[in-house]
Chains A and B, each alone.
Chain A
């Protein structure tokens, strides 16, 4: 059974048109993460929530925002997508924010920007 669910699996948006990617979890984990993964590269952390506390990575562009309305859901908003934002976006969870809590990834949303 899928425990970290990302919708949609594939998303196409136009250059400059805002887009929202969704993630939900059935694990009741405290921490939710968003990673960006470009082709043949490692996942790169954009930001994470510990419960309701938002933590942004220093090099995450301002174009990327996130919302976590409750424990189960987390959203990634890209305000004005550029072609450089085309990538796989991975959501992950962990019970706690320590290395005693392995990451559980969803299967990602592949974003195309036309």
Chain B
């Protein structure tokens, strides 16, 4: 089965700085890697995803990079703002289909 490891578990940054979260996965057949943001008292929300046919994807201040050879992918948040404070989860599909294995989560705190 898929094993997804996520680091760091907590990340504190100053407003305006960048934040980087890294994940590794075990199943070389995985080809879809979503990132979810979970705010306090809410369910996870998809913020960006990447498929294995590209190495990088950007959406405004958020970017994701993928290294299939090394089996790791990263989330980059630039110009962080207080509203970026949340728990972020990476995920990878387990076998075929949409059954995701989530990383352990990263609690990001952006200090004003």
A99 interface residue per 8 A CB criterion? yes
Known contacts A96-B98, A105-B45, A108-B42; A42/B103 CB under 8 A: yes
Cβ contacts A75-114/B at 8 Å (1 or 0 each): 0000000000000001010101111011111111000000
- How many residues of chain A have a CB within 8 Å of chain B? 24
**A98 to chain B: which residues have CB within 8 Å?**
96-98
Question: Are B105 and A105 in touch, CB under 8 angstroms?
Answer: no
* B63 nearest CB across to chain A (Å): 18
Asked whether A43 is an interface residue with its Cβ less than 8 Å from the other chain, the reply is yes
Minimum CB–CB distance from B48 to chain A (whole Å) comes to 10
B12 in the interface, Cβ–Cβ < 8 Å? no
Q: Is the CB of B89 within 8 A of A107?
A: no
- Residue B98 contacts which of A4, A43, A99, A106 (CB distance < 8 angstroms)? A99
Return B59 CB to nearest CB of chain A, in Å: 14
Q: Is the CB of B89 within 8 A of A42?
A: yes
Say yes or no: is A41 at the interface (Cβ < 8 Å to chain B): yes
- A70 on the interface (CB 8 Å rule)? no
A97 to B107, CA, bound (A): 29
Please state if B42 and A103 are interface contacts (CB–CB under 8 Å): no
A45 interfacial contact with B, CB 8 Å: yes
**CA of A48 to CA of B93 in the docked complex: distance in angstroms?**
14
Q: Which residues of A contact B96 (CB under 8 A)?
A: 98
Q: Is B20 an interface residue (CB 8 A)?
A: no
User: Is B73 on the interface with A (CB-CB < 8 A)?
Assistant: no
CB contacts (< 8 Å) of B31 on chain A: these are 99
Q: Of A45, A105, A107, which is within 8 A of B99 by CB? A: A45
CB distance from A84 to the nearest CB of B (A): 19
A residues with a Cβ closer than 8 A to B are 4, 31, 40-45, 48, 90, 92, 94, 96-99, 101-108
